[in-house]
Structure 1
Amino acid sequence: MTLACQRNSFLKELKTKVKSCSPAELKLTSNGKKETVQGYEVILEDTVLFPEGGGQPDDRGTINDIPVLRITRRGADALNFVQTEIPVGTEVELKVDWTRRFDNMQQHSGQHLITAVAENMYGYRTTTWYLGDKTSYIELDTPSMTTEQLSELEAVLNQKIYEGIKVYPTYFEDKNDPKVVEFRTRGLPDDHVGPVRVMTIEGIDSCLCCGTHVSTTTDLQLIKLLGAERGKRKNSTNLNFVVGNRVLQYLGRCLEVEKSLTALLKGPLEQHYDLAEKAVKGYKNAQKATQTLLRDVAVLEAEKYKNNPNRDPVFVCHRKEGDIDFMNTLAREIGDQCDLCFLTAGDDKGSGFVMMTGKENLVQDLGPKVMELMDGKGGCSKGRFQGKVNKLQNRQKAEQLIRNNLGAGDNQTP
């Protein structure tokens, strides 16, 4: 049996009955946090809510105004996860989140069109594809695509949209029908049940697909190819794209970035590249100058310490704007002039770097203790311990820990 959403992808509501309702749980990720939600798995006699499959995400919607949080497929059934029990036999009204559904339809049908035209024009086959939240891509079996090819392909795609070519499904009752193998496919799922559905873009492409699609290429509105980049697989290229309403959304984001850059760089769009290049060069030059000054400061700090006749056996130095290079220079200049060298760099109340040098047995013993106190991780090698910490504000406590272990008294650096 095919689902109502597959028979008519433009159907937004449906009345049906509940076949089963079983306790279940769902793992969700919200704002980066994972949680397990308790609820029910509902199977309906028919559904307008598409379960994820064929590379297309699942729908969102409601069953009797109860939000459906996830829709998956098992065999011929669509499994709807809800947090309210709905008794078997209940007559229900389904409503689909049309904004999400139509977006998925545009991206999915657009992918079919791009895949077919790219293969027809250049012989590049699509090996996989991915529908993202904002942009999507198809992976092509070619090591690269030229700018000219992208422009040519995009022009042909949008011409096909302008022509309003019909898009429609055909069904084969038996998946072993010899005609089925004639169509493009990535293969049927192992648990496939029921008719085999073939989606056709008239005169362009026919392939096995369970997803929801537009009825004419005009519904796609527009396709914008965002560029090609090397794919993860050998000799493959990812072709990034947006279709329909996503083109407007993408343009909106670009305009916001343009406004921000215009204010930041103090120049119009046409000058952004030159102004940004100038700013980057200036930043790099400033970084080099800062590195040179920090090395000079490190040398001076070491000389000041070594020239002190009453120098502290524990050398301690913190520099907010310092880095690993600064600490390396300072440790090298101090050499063996102290029992232990304790160096820190970074934000006083945040994260930063720690380095300890001195006698190897002391460093090996104290390094892990300092890391624990300052919430960090690091390692020791040849009398040097270094790592990254999250609580740089505990550096004075760490210094006191070092002094207590060395018997160096209470001569703490402010």
Structure 2
Amino acid sequence: MTNKLYYENVYQSTFVATVTKSEEDYIVLSETAFYPTGGGQPCDTGTINGKIVSNVEEVNGEIRHYINDSIPVGSKVEGIIDWERRFDHMQQHAGQHILTAAFVELYGYETTSFHLGSEKVTIDLNVENISSQELEKVEQLTNQIILEHRKIETVWVSKEEVNQYPLRKTLSVEENIRLVIIPEFDYNGCGGTHPQNTGEVQALSILGTERQKKKTRIEFVCGHRVRKQIHDKTTVISKLTSLLHAPQNELETNAIRLIDRNKTLEKEIKSLQDTIFQYEALELLKDTIKVGNHRVVQTTFKDKGLQELQTIARYVLANDPEVNVLFVSEINGKLQFVCQREQAAINMKYLAQSILPVINGKGGGNEKKAQGGGEAKTITSDALLTMLLHQLK
């Protein structure tokens, strides 16, 4: 069994050990300070003899260090932990313990899962809704515990000794039981890494919530990540004050005003586009042609999408429901087409299906209205329209 140095001294960042097993992509050591992934906490990274340790996992009782090279069994190696990452994880994990205990202390909300991400940390609570007032009080209590610099203790206990402690939740193991304790506040079974006192967590900030079925997910950050959040948000606010020509306390009002104005402009643009489409439809009707016994409004477009083609076709048919409409457009290196009619007798679905293989395309529709699109590599929009017209004869 590998000696787990991260449990003996969580602040140890370098160590010397012997390689006891060497495989193609991982090695096992006689002892290690590298914490393996587990319990919602990611693994430590760093180097072994200068080789990057990309992942650490505990599999069947052995701690595997994944590196891009092999090191012979029996070799003495030096391991160096990425201390910045380790301490960040210590801050986040300890903060999670305090936050989880605060939710239980104030409202009885229990944590059902925990995830420590690279930027944010989340816990899921067994409650559907949490008010902003509740979040504020929990955050206040959490930061109060942090500022009190309370000790964070770890003890190994037997199954029989567990009953001496007021644990927050039932343990998932019955042997090698490790408790993480903040005296008179939180008692919890945990195998993660934590600092010696709550003060090293520095601060905790709740970022937001998200509904997860019948649970609520809480997003938060601790320690150095709080400072990064403040820096990033300050940078964004500074840019917004410049862009909106408004002080910070007026940003929301100015943003709402800008959004409302944009919605108004979008409506005006849509109205103008509809007017243009109606005009195009009337102009196209002037050039109606006859193919066999069928009257047809047909043309090719540049850079018009399916929705635009369908809108123009609708306006054409609103003015003359007895014509057939055949439109083809080339847009973003692709061909798109619309086949549409109202009172005419042509089956537009069959017409569309007849040309899809030519453009290696996909499409669908019904007897009155069909559309599709495909490649523009082997045929031009004009040639594709000619094929559609040929099918009418």
Q: Above 0.5 in TM-score?
A: yes
The change in CA–CA distance for 1:152 and 1:62 in structure 2 (over 3 A counts) is same
The change in CA–CA distance for 1:343 and 1:186 in structure 2 (over 3 A counts) is farther
Structure 1 residue 4 corresponds to structure 2 residue 24? no
**Does the aligned pair in 2 maintain the 1:305–1:311 contact within 8 Å?**
no
Structure 2 residue matching 1:124: 3-state secondary structure: coil
Structure 1 residue matching 2:38: 3-state secondary structure: coil
How far did 1:241 drift?
A: 0.9
Q: Provide the residue aligned with 1:65 in structure 2.
A: 50
Q: Provide the residue aligned with 1:128 in structure 2.
A: 113
The change in CA–CA distance for 1:123 and 1:60 in structure 2 (over 3 A counts) is same
How far did 1:70 drift?
A: 1.0
**Does the aligned pair in 2 maintain the 1:14–1:94 contact within 8 Å?**
yes
Q: 2:221 aligns with which of 235, 239, 242?
A: 242
How far did 1:91 drift?
A: 0.6
The change in CA–CA distance for 1:405 and 1:15 in structure 2 (over 3 A counts) is same
**Does the aligned pair in 2 maintain the 1:342–1:399 contact within 8 Å?**
no
How far did 1:257 drift?
A: 1.3
Separation in 2, partners of 1:166, 1:129: 22
After TM superposition, the score normalised by the length of structure 2 is: 0.86
How far did 1:290 drift?
A: 1.4
**Sequence identity (%):** 28
Structure 2 residue matching 1:69: 3-state secondary structure: strand
Q: Provide the residue aligned with 2:285 in structure 1.
A: 306
Structure 1 residue 43 corresponds to structure 2 residue 32? no
How far did 1:343 drift?
A: 4.7
Give the partner amino acid of 1:121.
Answer: L
**Does the aligned pair in 2 maintain the 1:367–1:385 contact within 8 Å?**
no
The change in CA–CA distance for 1:350 and 1:252 in structure 2 (over 3 A counts) is farther
How far did 1:323 drift?
A: 6.8
Q: 1:331 aligns with which of 298, 313, 320?
A: 313
1:239-264 superposed Cα distances (whole Å, 9 cap, x missing partner): 22110000011111112211222232
Give the partner amino acid of 2:12.
Answer: L
The change in CA–CA distance for 1:323 and 1:259 in structure 2 (over 3 A counts) is farther
How far did 1:309 drift?
A: 5.5
Separation in 2, partners of 1:156, 1:108: 17
Structure 1 residue 257 corresponds to structure 2 residue 241? no
Separation in 2, partners of 1:275, 1:350: 40
How far did 1:396 drift?
A: 7.2
Output aligned runs, 1:137-148, within 5 Å.
137-148=122-133
Q: 1:210 aligns with which of 191, 206, 220?
A: 191
- RMSD of the TM alignment (CA)? 3.0
Structure 1 residue 266 corresponds to structure 2 residue 267? no
How far did 1:144 drift?
A: 1.6
Q: Provide the residue aligned with 1:315 in structure 2.
A: 298
Q: Provide the residue aligned with 1:233 in structure 2.
A: 213
Q: Provide the residue aligned with 2:345 in structure 1.
A: none
Structure 1 residue 275 corresponds to structure 2 residue 254? yes
Residue range with higher mean Cα deviation, 278-287 or 264-273: 264-273
Structure 2 residue matching 1:52: 3-state secondary structure: coil
How far did 1:367 drift?
A: 3.9
Q: Provide the residue aligned with 1:295 in structure 2.
A: 274
Q: Provide the residue aligned with 1:219 in structure 2.
A: 200
**Does the aligned pair in 2 maintain the 1:258–1:269 contact within 8 Å?**
yes
Give the partner amino acid of 2:167.
Answer: F
Give the partner amino acid of 2:4.
Answer: L
Separation in 2, partners of 1:184, 1:7: 24
Larger Rg: 2
Q: Which runs of 4+ in 1 moved over 4 A?
A: 174-178, 309-314, 319-323, 336-340, 350-354, 393-396
Q: Provide the residue aligned with 2:384 in structure 1.
A: 401
Q: Provide the residue aligned with 1:27 in structure 2.
A: none
Residue range with higher mean Cα deviation, 150-159 or 85-94: 150-159
Structure 1 residue matching 2:73: 3-state secondary structure: coil
Separation in 2, partners of 1:103, 1:133: 10
1:315-345 superposed Cα distances (whole Å, 9 cap, x missing partner): 2353647672x33321112336655522548
The change in CA–CA distance for 1:355 and 1:199 in structure 2 (over 3 A counts) is farther
Structure 2 residue matching 1:56: 3-state secondary structure: coil
Give the partner amino acid of 1:56.
Answer: Q
Give the partner amino acid of 2:213.
Answer: R
Structure 1 residue matching 2:41: 3-state secondary structure: coil
How far did 1:78 drift?
A: 1.3
Q: Provide the residue aligned with 1:411 in structure 2.
A: none
How far did 1:89 drift?
A: 0.9
Separation in 2, partners of 1:294, 1:253: 40
Q: Provide the residue aligned with 2:344 in structure 1.
A: none
How far did 1:105 drift?
A: 0.8
Unaligned runs of at least 5 residues, structure 2: 342-347
Give the partner amino acid of 2:11.
Answer: F
Unaligned runs of at least 5 residues, structure 1: 24-39, 409-414
The change in CA–CA distance for 1:103 and 1:379 in structure 2 (over 3 A counts) is farther
Separation in 1, partners of 2:182, 2:7: 16
Q: Provide the residue aligned with 1:153 in structure 2.
A: 138
1:151-195 superposed Cα distances (whole Å, 9 cap, x missing partner): 2111111111111000021113x5576649963457547xx9x72
What is the aligned residue count? 378
The change in CA–CA distance for 1:368 and 1:285 in structure 2 (over 3 A counts) is farther
How far did 1:296 drift?
A: 1.4
Residue range with higher mean Cα deviation, 309-318 or 69-78: 309-318
**Does the aligned pair in 2 maintain the 1:150–1:227 contact within 8 Å?**
no
Q: 1:183 aligns with which of 144, 160, 167?
A: 167
